Structure 1
C-alpha cells in the first residue's frame, strides 16, 4: 500500500446561517489539514450535489458525508469525521 495518495476532495454547495447556497471551504479546513499531515496531496473539486463531501482515491469514492456535519475551521484533530475520512483514505488501496 502506497503511503501517499492523491485525494480528490469533492464538495458541493451549502447554505450557511441563512446565506445563499454557495461552494464554501470553511468546513473543509480540518479535513485538508488531517490529510496533508499524513502526506497526501489534496485537490479540491467543486460538484453540484448540495451538502455533500466526497473523498476520491484512484477514481473510487472512499468516504462521503454531509458537509454540515464537519466542524467549522480548526485542524481536524477533534472532529471524528476527519479521523473516519483519514482511515478511509488509508484503507483505499
Structure 2
C-alpha cells in the first residue's frame, strides 16, 4: 500500500496500576510513526479492554495489547510501532 492510507485506530480502555484509564498516552508513538508515513488516522474507542487494532480498507492488519506499547515518545524505538508500521505499509 502506498503511503497516505486511511488507518482506523481502534483502542479500548486499559488497566494501569490497577485502575482503568484511557490508553491515549500509549498511542502517542504509534500515532507519530504512522503520521510520519503520511497516513491519515481515524481514532475510534472500542469497549475491548487493553486492545489496539489498526484497520486499513476494512481489514484488521495489526492488533496488540495497548500495555505492550511504549509510553509516550516518538515510537521510533518501539518494536511494536515498527511492526504496526510495516503491517499498514503491506496492507492491500
**Quick check: TM above 0.5?**
yes
Which residue of structure 2 lines up, in the alignment, with residue 27 of structure 1? 26
Q: How does 1:57-76 map to 2 (within 5 A)?
A: 57-76=56-75
Task: Report the Cα distance in structure 2 between the residues aligned to 1:10 and 1:82, rounded to whole angstroms.
Answer: 15
Please identify runs of 4+ aligned residues in structure 1 that moved more than 4 A. Answer: none
The C-alpha deviation readout for 1:19-62, integer Å capped at 9, x for no partner, is 2x233301000000000000001111000111100000011100
Give SS of 1:15's match.
Answer: strand
Q: Gaps spanning 5+ residues in structure 1: where?
A: none
Task: Report the Cα distance in structure 2 between the residues aligned to 1:2 and 1:70, rounded to whole angstroms.
Answer: 25
Q: Does 1:49 align with 2:56?
A: no
Q: Is the 8 A contact 1:27 1:73 kept in 2?
A: yes
- So what's the TM-score if we normalise by structure 2? 0.95
Q: Gaps spanning 5+ residues in structure 2: where?
A: none
